Amino acid sequence: MYADGARIFVEVGPGKVLTGLTRAIVGKDNVLLHTEDAEPAAITHLLHTIAKYMATGRSVQLDKLFEDRNVHTINLNALNNTKERYDLACKWSAGGSCCR
């Protein structure tokens, strides 16, 4: 795969053995990502993996990830200027030094 031009490798499944083997063979100059699927928070790990991929400057069609799912978009810029309240299962707080 490397000889054919592949420079991004994503391992999907439990563990990251193949990621380690790939790193040993092709070096650190490539994008090597893994995502777990054997844990309760597997979707969280998948989303983190996608974020790491996007952090390399590449794009992802995020709308495809949520296509045909029961989700709605929240305009975070307008969130403080509205009287509408959202019942969110997960709420994030961002500061100068961390996000939680």
Predicted local distance difference test score (pLDDT) of residue 89? 60
Q: What is the pLDDT of residue 80?
A: 66
34, 16 Cβ separation under 8 angstroms: yes
Structure tokens at 50: 């996608």
CA distance linking residue 5 with residue 41, whole number of Å = 33
> Which residues of the chain register pLDDT less than 70?
29, 37-40, 79-100
Contact 29, 56 (CB under 8 A): no
The Cα–Cα gap between 62 and 60 comes to 6
Instruction: Report phi then psi at 43, rounded to 5.
Output: -65, -35
**How many helices and strands, by DSSP H and E, does the chain display?**
3, 2
